[in-house]
Each structure stands twice: as C-alpha cells, then as structure tokens.
Amino acid sequence: MILDDHDSGAGQLQLDNRSRKIQKMFSRVPQTYEKVNHSITLGLDIRWRKRLVRQATAIAQPGNWVDMCTGTGEVAVYLQQQAPPGTQVWGVDFTPGMLEVARKKPEASSIRFITSDIKALPFKENCLDLVTMSFATRNINLDRETLVRSFAGYCRALKPGGSFVNLESSRPSSRFVRWCNDLYIKLLIRSTGSRISGAESPYAYLARTIPRFYPAAELADILREAGFSRVRFKQLLFGAVAIHIAVK
C-alpha cells in the first residue's frame, strides 16, 4: 500500500488562506476549464500535454504514476492511455469540482483520484515511479520557499531513479518574444477566459501570474534545491512554455 492513512474522498481539507483562495477560484471554472484553455492557446495546450506525457512515459518505470494538481484529469487520462500493464495512474487535486469533471470521463474509470493538498501528500516515501504536473506550478508557487518544499515533497515520494516531469508557462529570454507574449496575455487571456467561463477573477489571476513566473533556468535551479538531480528542460513556443525533467 503506497498511501498513508488517508481519506481519498472530498473529506475536510485543512488549507491555509491562500490555498483556500486558489481552491475557490478553481471551483468557479470546472465546466468551462478545458474549453477556455483550448481557445486561448488555439489548441496548442493539448499538444503540449501530450508531449509531456510522451517524454514522461518514455523514461518512467511501470508502477505508480501520479499527476499532481490534475484538475480535470487531461494528463492523467493521457498517462492512463500509455500505462503498461501493472501500472496504476493517480490524480491529485484539492478542488472537488475539478476532480468531479475528471472522474466523469469514461477514459478515467481506472484512474484513482485523491482530494488532497499537494503540500500534504498522502503518499509514503520512495513509492512512486513517475510524477507529472501541468500548468499548476504558478498556482503552488505561493512563494519560492513553498515551491521548493512542495517539489521536495514530490522528490520524497518518488523512488530513487523516479522522474518528475513538469509542464508550465515560462518567461521567454528574448525581450521581443516577452513583449509579444505579454501583449497577447494582456489583450486576450483575461477577456476570452472571462467571456467563456463567466468568471473574471480566475483569468485576471492567470494574466497576472504568467508574466511574473520564473525563467526556465531558474525553475531548474528550484528543482535542484528541492533535491532533484539531472534536471533538464525543453523550451516550446519560443520559450513561452517549458517542460522540465528532473530525476530523484
């Protein structure tokens, strides 16, 4: 058994104030969440998630694969589609409404979803073979120290040799690309997201946090600080998105 004694349902979560605000924000968007993402990235987000899964499954041993902050479970479903026999795919998230959408997907019937804060993971030490996460690093980056601690938690739960593969928006190094990216975010993300979802604050938050996020090289340093080794990254869309691979 790889779980500590844990209630995997929507039992009472102990969340700090900032996490509760983030949870509340995501509780407003589950039904439209995927539609907004596909619209504001012109469908590129689907390709990026599939690429994350290709890279992750190419290096992962069979066993227990966990998608952290899984949301509506898109990556978890792609992992399940690639999972070799004997592999259990898990999805962890603290927003019950997002997990409800994930659980309803027919392709997710054998995935085990857990309602948990990633800062208090229910997994035992050295028990996971693969950890993935997509588009959630900005959300768990309450501050740099908390992010290091959260990644250290992933590292602790992984077996030696296990990998963490992370997909996130990134700060492009070219000033011109940064300018174009910031303009795109300012003009389109907030308005399109709010219009489709009917909720303004989540997309104001998204538009605010993307331009402030770390460049890919700094995120690699944070992963090293958290205890990972052999950290490398691949930049996509001129550096506006990055996939990091880190090994325990």
Q: Do you know the residue count of the chain?
A: 248
Question: Of 119 and 178, which CB lies nearer to ligand SAM in the complex structure?
Answer: 119
Question: Of 149 and 234, which CB lies nearer to ligand SAM in the complex structure?
Answer: 149
- Whole-angstrom Cα distance, residue 46 to residue 51? 9
Two tokens at 231? 């950290």
Least Å from the CB of residue 216 to ligand SAM? 18
Question: Of 16 and 179, which CB lies nearer to ligand SAM in the complex structure?
Answer: 16
Least Å from the CB of residue 85 to ligand SAM? 25
Question: Of 71 and 193, which CB lies nearer to ligand SAM in the complex structure?
Answer: 71
Least Å from the CB of residue 175 to ligand SAM? 27
Q: How many CB atoms lie within 10 A of CB 16?
A: 12
Q: At what angle do helices 33-40 and 190-197 cross, to 10 degrees?
A: 150
Q: How far is CA 101 from CA 24, 73, 144, 197, 211, in A?
A: 16, 8, 30, 15, 29
Specify the amino acid at residue 164. F
Residues that bind ligand SAM (CB under 6 A): 19, 22-23, 26, 69-71, 74-75, 93-95, 98, 117-119, 134-136, 139-140
- Whole-angstrom Cα distance, residue 206 to residue 121? 25
Strand arrangement, sheet containing 112-115: 112-115, 88-93, 64-68, 128-134, 158-169, 241-247, 229-236
Least Å from the CB of residue 49 to ligand SAM? 6
Least Å from the CB of residue 75 to ligand SAM? 6
Q: Which residue is nearest to ligand SAM (CB)?
A: 71
Question: Of 71 and 162, which CB lies nearer to ligand SAM in the complex structure?
Answer: 71
